Structure 1
Amino acid sequence: MAESEKRDLEKRELEDVGVDPIRDSESNAKPMTLQDSEEDFGFTPEEQRNILWKVDRRLVVTVGAMYCVSLMDRTNLSAANIAGMGVELKLINNRYNIANLVFFTTYIVFQPPSTILIRKIGPRLHLAFITLLWGAVMIGMGFVKNFPQLAAMRTVLGVLEAGFFPSCVYLLSTWYTRYEVGKRYSMFYLLGCVASAFAGILAYGLMQLNGREGLTGWRWIFIIEGSLTCALGIAGYWLLVDFPDSKRLTWNFLGQRELDWIVHRIQRDRGDSKVPKFNLRKFLGAGTDWKIWAYALIFGLSTTITYSLAFTLPLILRQSLHFSIGASQCLVAPPYVLAGIVMFSGAWVGDRLRLRGPIVIFNMVLCLIGLPIMGWAPSPGVRYFGVFLVTAGANANIPAAMSLQANNVRGQWKRAFCSATLVGFGGLGGIAGSLVFREQDAATGYKPGLYASIACALLNIILVLLLDLGFWRANSKADKEGLLLEAHDEDATPGFRYTY
């Protein structure tokens, strides 16, 4: 076979597994060559797809299921509140909002060390152990007698959940190339949306246990959901996987040659598969990059909207749209189904076209259309349609913001720092979200909260435009002047380019 025919065949095989030699050379490191193909450790394209499918099935599904219970456990307060908790525990004035807020005080404080800790002790032990512990706390919340006890349990819950989300974001980013990670982040968060979608229906079912064993219905919400969390934490110890470069044992997963191929393709994609020795100065030095804080602010503004819906949507449906208690809990689910469709569609388009910023803008435009409908439409049915648009746009923006960050950061410890700041600002969004729709604003249709959400969506669009302008200027300098982008580590690659 002629040499040119061999190169054509090699190119077609690489494209079959989602690798475009030309586009990879434009966005990243060096062009794909015949030598690169020979470095695929002898795996055929079909075998490569099977390896990635194993990783998807074992990693994304496991952390997604654990995030599902995580999100359900931190947001089920609203379902319990309208099920009788507010009356029994005398949550008058702002006590309900405070119970939501105190969770995020410890959630934010204890996040930064998590991405360092997970590297030291491994994801299996770290994530499984904290999941088991916060499940136990959830069970304990079913037995609280007053507001101070509830607030204390929520504070402890924040300590334990603090290490979960940033660790998962960081772990996922180490297994996939930059234009594979969008769909994986979306699937991970989509499973969390399933929790938000069906938590209300589950809560309504658990309410029917009212009186069983002398406990009121809202207490069973915490007890049963906490028990499910404990079970998943125990299972996670066997199901979770480690970092691809780790030498720690992971049962029944990939062989060493398969792991070496994963590490090699990450190195080929962005040049940061090697983990340098931890250096506190380098770790914190990532904070001098203004873009890190822009990514974090986009994420925080998005979570402000998502948490405000998660914490108070049943209350809005009940008090503002005047649905019954059962309908208010069950009608939470359909908007999240649309959110899942928008989320995964945006991720597929973003990975396919190698775009990130326009996806974020599209999601925020959905919110800007839905918020006025949700607040000012004349009939409850039309306003409920607005809830669909806001829920879809805000929730789809979470993995979109994560992908924007993941595609434009390189270096293991900068990636770890960025994951911590991203989720830290997400916690700040949770604090803001717990105060957006206040009890005293119910009579006005929660108008102040709607104005705040509109401001968040507009600011996100402005931030993305500023980032894309900065990316365009930096990429132009790299093309024309040979500027080395993201050159804070010794193994920086000259072909790295930012993704708009």
Structure 2
Amino acid sequence: MATYTEKKGSLEIVDAGTDNGLEKNAQYDQAEVVFDPVAERKLRVKLDWYLMPLVSIVYLLCFIDRSNIGNSRLAGLEKDLGMSGYQYNACLSIFYISYITFEIPLNMVCKWIGPGWFIPICCIGFGICTIGTAFVNDFSQLCALRFLLGIFEAPMLPATVYYLSRWYRRSELTFRLSLFIISASLAGAFGGLLASAILRLPGVGSVHSWKMIFLIEGIVTVVVGIVALGTLTDRPESARWLTEEQKTLANDRVKSERIATTEVVDKFTRAKLKRGLTSPIAITTAMIFLLNNITVQGLAFFLPTIVATIFPKRTVVDQQLLTVPPYALGTVMCLAICFLSYKLDKRGIFLILCAPFSMIGYSMFLATSAAHVRYAATFLPVCGIYAYGAMTTSHVSANLVSDTARSSGIAFTVMLSNFGSLISTWAFLPFDSPVYRIGNGLNLAAQSTMFILALGMYFWIKAENKKRDQRDVQAELAGLSLSEIQDLDWHHPGFRFRN
């Protein structure tokens, strides 16, 4: 047993027994190292202040640059570009074609380059694409830039989750992820506020109206990306703002929770890559995330349109502002749910409990055409859907061991989830207005299926762990080298899945 204690402003290991906890952890899935809570708290505060604000702002801008096309649509984008029929839906789909295609390859590049460099480069890239959208003159040019935007934004969510998993414990990760995942709901709130404010500004040359939305938001994104390029730290070893003792503590905290782990950032092996792609938890969680993204992205792209059909006599600015309150509620609920998850160190139960909010909300959409009831129904789905972004990705991270497996598993989860985003672009069709029975029915079915999948996964984990309790760990590992044991990842007989 080993403990970390704080002495005269520094940290030192105090041996409390003959066994070294990190070495023993190579055979059994339990943390054998006890860390001084005061030292941990000081480290955690530093991590929160140095890492979370910047990654949250970057992801906020990522989601704004993706979804501002919904606000631009209300401001005349389709009319100015001569778009008709299903061209708007097709434009949204093109973004997700590149987004899905480049998800896993670019996250392997992220591991190779390092997320501290890779994330800012992508931020600058999608900011430039957003600026370029302000100068398009027809539908084909818009589609080309949406395709490029999809490439640069593809790795952002999995890369950021993977990045933070290098710094935080499993129990800490969900709440920290929520601090940037809420950017999805904040993007909706700020998107409506920004769009209503920007539309009041005078144009610049040929850039006016909806084009100003893309220009201003794109410039802000590029500036933030440049700042991040010079300030985002790649890993604890390179963090100049940590003491040497804190760097050691940061690494040992992560290693102590991951069976057979001797280094936080491991060497790439195909075996570990495969473990991340074939994990039953990753596959099931990815399906839940896929279904949830039908709802999340559907709101991002079509909530302004839905609100316009509910209140057709309101001005465009008023319609934009009416999209803000649901997103604000979604932000608060996401933080509250993820904070509870952090304190309880549970994710599986919340994956089950979040879906019923949406199930009730979309039932209300389908049951009535009364304007105020339908507007009230927009508040229910947001109570649960945004928490899934943090819950699903942290659930996968908690149930994979190695850095490589987490990188591929998280990327796979987000990649598969974006098929849901692609489906969402065709959920709300012009002929189905104003009730949108197809879109609302699809969301009701998706959320109901999520509930069933999450419930099944919860009880499967309990049953699987009981089976593993009967296995002879030492006998199964006998004769294997440390590298072979590490390649087992979640197949390790001493590993236990987390709910």
> TM-score normalised to the size of structure 1?
0.87
Aligned-residue offset at 1:403 = 2.5
How do residues 75-224 of structure 1 correspond to structure 2 at under 5 angstroms?
75-224=67-216
Match of 1:369 among 356, 360, 363: 360
C-alpha deviations, 1:155-180, integer Å up to 9, x for none? 01111111222110111122111111
Deviates most, 144-153 or 283-292: 283-292
C-alpha deviations, 1:264-303, integer Å up to 9, x for none? 1111122344443212354135433333211111111111
Contact 1:115 1:170 in 2 (8 A): no
Aligned-residue offset at 1:487 = 6.7
Contact 1:309 1:391 in 2 (8 A): no
Cα 1:405/1:490, change in 2 over 3 Å: closer
Matched with 1:498 is: 497
Match of 1:430 among 417, 421, 442: 421
Match of 1:350 among 320, 325, 341: 341
Aligned-residue offset at 1:377 = 3.2
Contact 2:254 2:264 in 1 (8 A): no
How do residues 346-425 of structure 1 correspond to structure 2 at under 5 angstroms?
346-425=337-416
Aligned-residue offset at 1:488 = 6.0
C-alpha deviations, 1:385-436, integer Å up to 9, x for none? 1101112221222212222222222222211111111110232121111111
2:450 matches 1:460: yes
Distance in 2 between residues matched to 1:150 and 1:466, nearest whole Å: 42
Q: What RMSD in Å do the two structures reach over aligned CA positions?
A: 2.5
How do residues 18-57 of structure 1 correspond to structure 2 at under 5 angstroms?
29-30=29-30, 32=32, 36-37=33-34, 40=35, 45-57=37-49
Which amino acid is the alignment partner of residue 88 of structure 1? D
Cα 1:210/1:437, change in 2 over 3 Å: farther
C-alpha deviations, 1:418-460, integer Å up to 9, x for none? 11111102321211111111122114x1100111101111111
Which amino acid is the alignment partner of residue 257 of structure 2? D
Which amino acid is the alignment partner of residue 309 of structure 1? L
Deviates most, 337-346 or 222-231: 337-346
Distance in 2 between residues matched to 1:469 and 1:219, nearest whole Å: 50
Aligned-residue offset at 1:356 = 1.4
Aligned-residue offset at 1:353 = 2.3
C-alpha deviations, 1:18-57, integer Å up to 9, x for none? xxx9xxx9xx83465xxx34xx5xxx53332121111111
2:256 matches 1:268: yes
2:243 matches 1:255: yes
Deviates most, 153-162 or 65-74: 153-162
Distance in 2 between residues matched to 1:97 and 1:31, nearest whole Å: 50
Aligned-residue offset at 1:253 = 2.0
SS in 2 for 1:76: helix
Distance in 2 between residues matched to 1:31 and 1:177, nearest whole Å: 11
Which amino acid is the alignment partner of residue 114 of structure 2? G
Structure 1, unmatched stretches of 5+, are 1-5, 7-20
Distance in 1 between residues matched to 2:254 and 2:31, nearest whole Å: 14
Aligned-residue offset at 1:335 = 1.0
Aligned-residue offset at 1:468 = 1.5
Matched with 2:487 is: 489
How do residues 442-453 of structure 1 correspond to structure 2 at under 5 angstroms?
442-443=433-434, 445-453=435-443
Distance in 2 between residues matched to 1:482 and 1:117, nearest whole Å: 38
Contact 2:271 2:487 in 1 (8 A): no
Structure 2, unmatched stretches of 5+, are 4-20, 478-483
C-alpha deviations, 1:305-340, integer Å up to 9, x for none? 100000000000002443432122111111122112
Aligned-residue offset at 1:494 = 6.1
Distance in 1 between residues matched to 2:337 and 2:466, nearest whole Å: 27
Distance in 2 between residues matched to 1:221 and 1:169, nearest whole Å: 29
Give the aligned length.
464
Aligned-residue offset at 1:373 = 1.8
Which amino acid is the alignment partner of residue 291 of structure 2? L
2:68 matches 1:69: no
C-alpha deviations, 1:166-205, integer Å up to 9, x for none? 1101111221111111111111212342222111110111
Which amino acid is the alignment partner of residue 474 of structure 1? E
Contact 2:310 2:374 in 1 (8 A): no
SS in 2 for 1:208: coil
Contact 1:297 1:425 in 2 (8 A): yes
Which amino acid is the alignment partner of residue 459 of structure 1? T
Aligned-residue offset at 1:480 = 3.1
> TM-score normalised to the size of structure 2?
0.87
C-alpha deviations, 1:206-257, integer Å up to 9, x for none? 111254434321000000000000010011012212123xx5x44x421332
Contact 1:357 1:468 in 2 (8 A): yes
Contact 2:275 2:489 in 1 (8 A): no
Which amino acid is the alignment partner of residue 200 of structure 1? G
Distance in 1 between residues matched to 2:203 and 2:353, nearest whole Å: 47
Matched-pair identity in %: 28
Distance in 1 between residues matched to 2:278 and 2:307, nearest whole Å: 44
Contact 1:376 1:383 in 2 (8 A): no
Distance in 2 between residues matched to 1:31 and 1:430, nearest whole Å: 38
Matched with 2:297 is: 307
Cα 1:45/1:276, change in 2 over 3 Å: closer
Contact 1:102 1:154 in 2 (8 A): yes
Determine which structure has the larger helix proportion and give its number.
1
SS in 2 for 1:143: coil
Deviates most, 393-402 or 134-143: 393-402
2:294 matches 1:296: no
Deviates most, 87-96 or 202-211: 202-211
C-alpha deviations, 1:357-376, integer Å up to 9, x for none? 22112210000011122343
SS in 1 for 2:385: helix
2:230 matches 1:232: no
SS in 1 for 2:487: coil
